[in-house]
Amino acid sequence: MGKVLMTGNEAMAEAAICAGCRAYFGYPITPQNEILEYMAAHMSAVGGAFIQAESEVAAINMCYGASAAGVRTMTSSSGPGISLKMEGISYLAAADLPCVIVNVARGGPGLGNIAPSQGDYFQATKGGGHGDYRMIVVGPATIAEAIELVMLAFDLADKYRTPVMVLSDGMLGQMMEPVTLPEHVALASLPDKPWALTGAKGRGPNAVTSFAMDPADLSRINTEREGRYRQIEEKEVRYRETYASDSTIIIAAYGTVARIARTTVRIARSEGIKLGLLEPITLWPFPYGPLRELSRRVSTVLTVEMSAGQMVEDVRLAVADRAQTPFYGELGGLVPTPKDILREVKRYVS
Partner 1 sequence: MSANADSMVRVFERPRSLTDAQFSYCPGCHHGLVARIIAQTIDELGIQDRAVIVAPVGCAVSMYEWFRCDGIQAAHGRACAVATGIKRVRPNLIVFTYQGDGDLAAIGTAESIHAANRGENIAVIFINNQIYGMTGGQMAPTTLIGQWATSCPGGRNVQLAGYPIRFAEMIAQLDAPVYVTRQALYDQKRIMATSRAIKKAFQCQVEGKGYSLVEILTNCPTNWRMSPVESNSHLMNEVVKTFPLGDLVDRG
Q: What residue ranges bind partner 1 (CB under 8 A)?
A: 22-23, 25, 49, 51, 53-55, 57-59, 61-71, 73, 87-88, 91, 95, 197-202, 204-211, 213
Q: Is 106 helix (H, G, I), strand (E, B) or coil?
A: strand
- φ, ψ of residue 127 to 5 degrees: the values are 90, 85
- Closest CB 129 distance from partner 1, rounded Å: 11
Smaller CB separation from partner 1, 17 or 63: 63
Smaller CB separation from partner 1, 64 or 328: 64
- φ, ψ of residue 63 to 5 degrees: the values are -60, -45
Q: From CA 136, how far away is CA 133, in angstroms rounded?
A: 10
Smaller CB separation from partner 1, 204 or 215: 204
- Closest CB 315 distance from partner 1, rounded Å: 35
Residue 68, phi-psi category: left (phi > 0), alpha (psi -120 to 50), beta (remainder): alpha
Whether the CB-CB separation of 343 and 251 falls below 8 Å is answered with: no
Q: From CA 164, how far away is CA 6, in angstroms rounded?
A: 23
- Closest CB 227 distance from partner 1, rounded Å: 23
Smaller CB separation from partner 1, 199 or 227: 199
Question: In this structure, which long-range contacts are made by residues 315-320, counting pairs with CB atoms below 8 Å and at least 24 apart in sequence?
Answer: 315/252, 315/291, 317/288, 318/286, 318/287, 318/288, 318/289, 318/291, 318/292, 319/291, 319/292, 319/295, 320/292, 320/295
CA-to-CA dists, residue 301 to 63, 123, 273, 277, 280, angstroms: 39, 23, 14, 9, 13
Q: From CA 63, how far away is CA 57, in angstroms rounded?
A: 10
- Closest CB 26 distance from partner 1, rounded Å: 13
- Closest CB 54 distance from partner 1, rounded Å: 4
Smaller CB separation from partner 1, 84 or 275: 84
- Closest CB 281 distance from partner 1, rounded Å: 30
- Closest CB 181 distance from partner 1, rounded Å: 24
Residue 88 CA from chain centroid, whole number: 17
- Residue 132 DSSP symbol: S
Smaller CB separation from partner 1, 185 or 196: 196
Smaller CB separation from partner 1, 196 or 267: 196
